[in-house]
């Protein structure tokens, strides 16, 4: 998904959901607990990504 380029490290998109994984700060600081996953659910409109 081009809209996530440079923003998230990994993403998955389903019919009504988007999961975005952010690892950058975790890797930078050597802190795995800094990893973050965000789940967006509902009507995923491309213009708000």
How many residues does the structure list for the chain?
49
Q: Quote the pLDDT of residue 6.
A: 58
The verdict on residue 16 lying in a domain is yes
Q: Quote the pLDDT of residue 46.
A: 60
The verdict on residue 48 lying in a domain is no
Domain holding 13, by residue range, is: 2-43
The verdict on residue 17 lying in a domain is yes
Q: What is the pTM of this model?
A: 0.58
Q: Quote the pLDDT of residue 21.
A: 85
pLDDT in tens, 1-47: 555 555 677 788 887 888 888 888 888 889 889 888 888 887 766 65
Please tell me the total count of domains within the chain.
Answer: 1
The verdict on residue 23 lying in a domain is yes
| 20 and 4 Cβ atoms separated by less than 8 Å | yes
| 26 and 35 Cβ atoms separated by less than 8 Å | yes
Q: Quote the pLDDT of residue 14.
A: 82
The verdict on residue 49 lying in a domain is no
């Amino acid at each position: 998904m081009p809209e996530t380029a440079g923003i998230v490290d990994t993403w998955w998109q389903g019919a009504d959901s988007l999961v975005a994984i952010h690892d950058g700060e975790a890797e930078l600081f050597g802190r795995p607990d800094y990893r973050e996953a965000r789940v967006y659910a509902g009507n995923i409109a491309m213009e708000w990504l």
